[in-house]
Chain A
């Protein structure tokens, strides 16, 4: 018996949780961003898994769009980080507290 649905989903879930933990724990804004990408990739993987196990190709089309939009998002996010870095000379999340009460 080959690996089942649950196995693949477990991998996806683990990656997701690791990404989540990274988002919370890390202070470097770029690393936090990478962790966000990790979570997104975990979601993509889960989507592919479901698509294949349900035998429906539509899910993969969806994933294609997700990846495209995620790439766009990365570009914009990194541009923002660059702008932020120019203005504040830092990439540490806990130093970006201008709007904090």
Chain B
């Protein structure tokens, strides 16, 4: 494939988004067709390009400021190629699924337009060759997620969730921006290639640890926001307000994956600061555990999956922090498969139950929706880490990394794995086994083929995804060779934990009508939202009140109206000068002329 064709990867989705928004708004079928076509074409293009090993296209100069040039450049190493395949592939499957899921929504054109914009932004992050481009697409992802989470904007909760996602991401992005500036300040370049060359040439070897630490931390801040790490994870569960395909897209292929992908992309930079790696690892570990704990006691099927995503993202970030970015990316890929599958399966269930999302009102769907059940089961087992499925391999790779560094994070990871197996079996038991608890659940039917086929495709990927050799590609050929010979301890522990989790879940939730566990703190999400409401939001409100007062009384009254009053008063005081009539003006004129003449005469 000619390298220049790579540009199509960006032009197709943005063209589709623009076309739909500008022209095809009223034609819902055409919009959907264009969007799905562009996603499919992107996937084909990515496959073709990766298979033929096409080189990255020539960079184009975009902005010039004296000798500093911002390039539109692509960087296509194995990391980007794997991510590209995952993003376009999973994205395409989700597009197809959306055809069925959104078939009866009046705003379908808007939906597919947003979806195309989302694909454009995410593809941009994946192929971007420098930090400026990454940041721009990063923000574009924020915008498109805002548009899609708030897709049903007439619902106040959806609008609030969209705002929350956007604002929380801004907090992280601020740190990200500072990090980019720090990189530019210390290394004087923003392209990944030049940066890497500079660091390998030893540009940071003599630097004091604090600036490097802060730089790495700034870049990590962006990932904390996008990849929903503690303490900025609060937006992700709320983002479930969007349509389910959007949730799948956000969780599996795009937005949240962007953070982890970016960390791997700039890993050569981050690893220069060991303290930063520690911070990253422990943030990831904490996120994994906290989110898994909360997921145990959620009743909304999508929220369980959302917290599970947060938890798995914590895993990936932890892997980055443990200096194992390949393991992180591996888990990201497998997670993309099975989490997209889980969300789409959940979407299929929700669609069949006419937007019922409470698992305690489901039940017995195993027989009513067999394909959905089996694919969901495959995804759940992969997520729980069932040996032989994709999730087992990738999770094990991360735990192995923790084991190698002898970090206590290994035990934290195992605990999280246990919780993961536990809540997934709970979810499956409650939603799919037993008897239907509601009429809607009893009358549920299998979803149409356009929704089921993507599920099957993703289920196959989830099952075999661990054996596709992704890990080898990511680690590089040399490392792949010795990767085989690691010990038996971690796999054994993983399996034990998996069996214990699934067993406990199945035993505890078999034929239950209500949740046997109380755990109110977990049900209330460990009070994160409440704490933020009482501190950040309240303080912000107070500050806003103060500035409102300031604006009203100081700016508006004192400065604006005060200035006006002074001018008016002076004018009033001086108006007698203007009140003398035409003769008076003539006199003043003559007197002035006389004064000038006198001055000229006596000078």
Contact = CB atoms under 8 A, between A and B. Distances in A.
Interface in B141-187: none
Contacts of A26: 583
A24 B582 CA distance: 9
Contacts of A101: 575, 578-579
Contacts of B587: 24
A24 B579 contact: no
Contact of B590 (A24, A27, A32, A94): A24
Contact of A94 (B575, B583, B586): B583
Contact of B586 (A24, A96, A97): A24
A20 to B, nearest CB: 6
A100 B586 contact: no
Interface in A5-58: 20, 23-27, 32
A27 B584 CA distance: 11
Contacts of B408: none
Interface residues of A, number: 13
Interface in B569-601: 575, 578-579, 581-583, 586-587, 590
A23 B583 CA distance: 7
A93 interface: yes
Contact of B581 (A20, A23, A25, A97): A97
Contacts of B581: 93-94, 97, 100
A85 B583 CA distance: 18
A39 to B, nearest CB: 10
Contacts of B583: 23-27, 32, 93-94
B204 to A, nearest CB: 73
Contact of A96 (B575, B582, B590): B582
B277 to A, nearest CB: 76
A20 B582 contact: no
A26 B575 CA distance: 24
Q: Which of B575, B578, B587 has the most CB of A within 10 A?
A: B587
Nearest to A97: B581
Q: Which of B575, B578, B583, B587 has the most CB of A within 10 A?
A: B583
A94 B584 CA distance: 10
Nearest to A23: B586
A93 B582 contact: yes
B229 to A, nearest CB: 69
A82 to B, nearest CB: 18
Q: Which of A26, A96, A97, A101 has the most CB of B within 10 A?
A: A101
A23 B586 CA distance: 7
Contacts of B578: 100-101
A100 B579 CA distance: 6
20 contacts: A20-B590, A23-B583, A23-B590, A24-B583, A24-B587, A24-B590, A25-B583, A26-B583, A32-B583, A93-B582, A93-B583, A94-B582, A94-B583, A96-B582, A97-B581, A100-B579, A100-B581, A101-B575, A101-B578, A101-B579
Interface of A: 20, 23-27, 32, 93-94, 96-97, 100-101
Interface of B: 575, 578-579, 581-583, 586-587, 590
The 10 closest A-B pairs by CB, nearest first: A24-B587, A23-B586, A24-B586, A93-B582, A94-B581, A101-B578, A101-B575, A20-B590, A24-B583, A93-B583
Given A97-B581, A101-B575, 5 more contacts: A24-B587, A26-B583, A32-B583, A100-B578, A101-B578
